[in-house]
Amino acid sequence: MSHPKEPAPVCFFIALTTQDFSIGEQALTPLTSELGGVIFSSEAFDFSSFTHYYEKEMGRNLKKRFYFFENLKSPDFLVELKHICYKIELSYTTEFGKRKVNLDPGYVELSKVVLSTFKDYAHRIYLGRGVFAEVTLIYKDKSFISLPWTYPDYQAFIPVFNQAREIYKGLKKRSLC
């Protein structure tokens, strides 16, 4: 019989989508009180080459970048973090209700990468307070691999998540000392 136990703390990240990284990175500042500093980030990339989903709301020529944070926290913090990001997004909204930043929180652990969303779908699990989660990458044969529903930009940036996993392993080891 299994018994309840607390999960290992995880490494949280934010996928930031914006036209202007100076505004976008300002939007990350309130997160550092909970998540600590950014310990690793991907290169900025042309998000519009992957999808046009956000263009109507946020405009053209959108860029995206992944930011990984130093403070390891329980995975259940994902619900709170999604709401914190939502409030930050609202504070960076134009008078016409258009967002200037999109902040998508998720986390990396040894076996998977998990994303959060307010949108339900068949492969998503409800966590509470309107938040759903999906496993988007799993670790197999020394690398993360995609799943049928993995977004194309996450598929393209698997090496970034592999690197984040290695950083997470070091942080986890350090937190046990």
**Helices marked H in the chain — which ranges?**
21-28, 32-35, 55-58, 77-91, 152-156, 158-176
Q: In whole angstroms, what is the distance from residue 164 CA to residue 170 CA? A: 10
Average confidence (pLDDT) over 74-86: 99
Interval 94-118: pLDDT, tens? 989 999 999 999 999 999 999 999 9
What are the pLDDT digits (tens) for 151-171? 999 999 999 999 999 999 999
166 CB neighbour count, 10 Å cutoff: 12
Most distant pair of Cα atoms in the chain: their distance: 56
Domain ranges of the chain: 10-172
Give 51: exposed, middle or buried? Use CB within 10 Å, 0-12, 13-18, 19+: middle
- How does pLDDT run across 38-52, given as a tens digit for each residue? 999 999 999 999 999
Is the entire prediction scored with pTM above 0.85? yes
Does the pLDDT of residue 176 top 90, yes or no? no
First to last CA, the chain: 30
pLDDT value at position 175? 80
Q: Residue 177 has what pLDDT?
A: 52
